[in-house]
Homo-oligomer: A and B are copies of this chain.
Amino acid sequence: MDLEAVKKYLEKKGETSSLVDGLPARFLEPLIMNALRVDLIEPGRVVCSMKIPPRLLNAGNSLHGGATAALVDVVGSAAIPSVGYSVSSTGVSVEINVSYLDAAYAHEEIEIEARALRVGKAIAVISVEFRKKKTGKIFAQGRHTKFLPTASKL
């Protein structure tokens, strides 16, 4: 049992540390979204593409599970204005879940499809599916539940 190694891993500060400390506010979204392209938007459905950038890899050189979860949040949220809500009020996250089915590697072209299962007066639920573009194979599936507080005031 090597508790010291766990501590070192969690607190590791490499050469990137000074770079990280200098980053602007709200940097997580540019980090994960900079490579996103929108292929299709229609009411209740958003499809994006991305060529997996090396900056989003994990130690196993595949798309980081945390990046996948963050993309469920961001792309899932975009499905709400697609059914008529203002882009500035996509609600508050209540729950996100993701199943990881397979690894996706650097430079692979992937497709992220968000589909609104329900956008009600107060609750929206969006399914988000990650596929490899070459084979169509699903490699992750998530769901995003949001509370729409401003909508409930209308």
The interface of chain A, by Cβ under 8 A from chain B, is 1-3, 5-7, 9-14, 16-17, 19-21, 23-34, 36-38, 41-43, 46, 48, 54-60, 64-67, 69-75, 78, 81-84, 86-87, 92-103, 106, 117-118, 122-123, 125, 127, 138, 141, 143, 145, 147, 149, 152
| Nearest CB in chain B: distance from A45 CB, A | 11
Chain B residues within an 8 Å CB radius of A106:
25
Give the number of times this chain occurs in the complex, counting copies: 4
| Nearest CB in chain B: distance from A70 CB, A | 3
Chain B residues within an 8 Å CB radius of A138:
117-118
Chain B residues within an 8 Å CB radius of A36:
10-11
